[in-house]
Amino acid sequence: MIVDGLRDEHARLEKSGLNPGDVEPAPSVNLVRLCNLDGNFVVLVQPGKVLNITSKKF
């Protein structure tokens, strides 16, 4: 899923108890991987410059 404000989404997911992984830099995007409450693997992507932020390991 493409999102704006990946940092904000990461914080919101942590507060919701979904345990998102680190914000990972990749060529031209940043991404966060997590499993939702049903066990589905979800990747959130924000196009653009690398943000250089992390939280905890996935």
Instruction: Give 10-43 pLDDT, tens digit per residue.
Output: 999 999 989 999 999 988 999 999 998 899 999 9
10: tokens are 């990461």
What is the number of domains present in the chain? 1
pLDDT at 3: 95
Cα-based torsion angle of the residue sequence 13, 16, 18, 20 in order, rounded to the nearest 10 degrees: 30
Domain that holds residue 39: 6-47
pLDDT at 58: 39
pLDDT at 52: 55
Does residue 19 sit within a domain?
A: yes
pLDDT at 27: 87
Those residues whose C-beta lies under 8 Å from the C-beta of residue 3, and which sit 6 or more positions away, are 9, 44, 45, 46
What is the C-alpha separation between 35 and 20, in angstroms, rounded? 8
Q: What is the pTM of this model?
A: 0.76
Does residue 54 sit within a domain?
A: no
Does residue 53 sit within a domain?
A: no
